[in-house]
Amino acid sequence: MDSKNSNGILTGNSLVSCIDELSPQDYLDLSHCTQIATKSADMAGSRFADSAAWLNEYVATLHFFGWSVFQDVIQTRTRYDVSKSVAQYLITSAHGMHDTRQGNAMIDTLDALKPDTPALYSLDKESLMGERFQVLPARYDSKGFLEIAVFNLELVVHTRKSSFLFWDLEKQGAKIIQSRAFLKLDKRVLEAKRTLLENKSRELLMKRFDLRKKQAH
């Protein structure tokens, strides 16, 4: 499957939500950069033991391949109450972003993910059922530059269950601890390092799930 009509990507502990249909090359580049950054951060330290250091290495790797941090630096940990489900929290947060299309894009991404049992199982495994996971809304800005927001998330809950994104948390007193960064791609930097990017991506054994919402007939 390629980028055509894709609503998002799941790879490792990262869920990418796409507002627009990305070009095939941008789709692959974003997938590969995300996977390489995850691998690099995992080699530097545990995403569960020290999420701040892990996220710093993750963003540093993206920066190496041309993703520059904007809107200041990585925002430190912020705590939010989760009254319904993690999925609903993500939709509400996306609706509150500067680009109003983010909310609908997140709904489509989650709708594509929910019936995908292998993808859900992989996310549960990679994130330890929500202990550490990431959500990355992606879009083109008004000038055509590819942007992503990286939301590094920790679900704090007494009991963990599979398909944690969609579990009803109304009576669980659940919280989300969030750090975030905003990045914009300079394609000149990425093109200068394309050979390295492609070589590194071929070395990876990380699964990638291309999420496409099933169309109603």
Query: CA–CA separation, 178 vs 77, rounded Å?
Result: 5
Q: Kindly tell me if the per-residue pLDDT of 197 is higher than 70.
A: yes
Task: Give residue limits of the domains in the chain.
Answer: 8-209
Q: Angle 178-181-186 (CA atoms, 0-180°, nearest 5)? A: 160
Tell me: the pLDDT tens digits for 111-121? Answer: 999 999 999 99
> What count of Cα atoms within 13 Å lies in the side-chain half-sphere of residue 86?
28
Q: Kindly tell me if the per-residue pLDDT of 3 is higher than 60.
A: no
Amino acid at position 164, single letter:
F
Q: Which residues pair with 183 in a beta bridge?
A: 69, 148
Average pLDDT across the chain, whole number:
91
> Can you tell me whether residue 51 is helix, strand or coil?
helix
Amino acid at position 38, single letter:
T
Tell me: the pLDDT tens digits for 138-182? Answer: 999 899 999 999 999 999 999 999 999 999 998 888 999 999 999
pLDDT the model gives residue 107: 92
151's tokens: 């939301």
2 or 185, greater pLDDT: 185
Least Cα distance to 198 among 88, 36, 10 occurs for: 36
Task: Please name the helix (run of DSSP H) or strand (run of DSSP E) that holds residue 137, with its range, or none.
Answer: strand 133-140
Percent of the chain with pLDDT over 70: 95
pTM for this structure? 0.92
Query: CA–CA separation, 49 vs 42, rounded Å?
Result: 11
CATH class of 8-209: alpha beta
Task: Please name the helix (run of DSSP H) or strand (run of DSSP E) that holds residue 83, with its range, or none.
Answer: none
Q: Kindly tell me if the per-residue pLDDT of 40 is higher than 60.
A: yes
pLDDT the model gives residue 1: 42
